[in-house]
Structure 1
Amino acid sequence: MPDLVPVVLLAVLLVIAVRCLIAGLHTGRRSTAPAVEPYRDPRPLVACHRPVCGHMSWPHDETDEGLRCTNCGLINTDAA
């Protein structure tokens, strides 16, 4: 009877190992949602050299006068 204890402990460890293996394989095969393409603003990102915008890059709309900042509304000409 004392020889049965190591066999039972080994069986319990084997069951735990198999359950962990099955759980790991099941997680790996789980289907994920397809990757969604992030929205990319088609307007050019230009550094706005106005103190209002803090010299950060903001989307700009193209106008006849130049690029108009969407944050402060001022026009950035090529020389500015």
Structure 2
Amino acid sequence: MSDAELLCALAQSNEAALRELHCRYAPRLYTLAFQIQHPQPERGVQDACLLVARHADCHARTALEARLWILALAHQSLRATAQ
């Protein structure tokens, strides 16, 4: 399943889609959390994943590739919660 398809499934509350996206993106998000010196990297990554899940339906209204949309939203979340 592509990232875009997973986001569509996630927008319909598919928990398996959330688990798959977490498996795909958690390593990158942990790296990012450590790079920005997030005080609680595990919590920050979890919050970022939940934010992506809550807003998964918004991806369909953008022209961004799903991977870029996920990473941009997660990055914004990590930076906001790092302060």
Same fold? TM cut 0.5 = no
Higher strand share: 1
Q: Larger Cα Rg: Structure 1 or Structure 2?
A: 1
TM-score (norm 2): 0.22
Higher helix share: 2
**More contact order relative to length (CA 8 Å, sep ≥ 6):** 2
TM-score (norm 1): 0.23
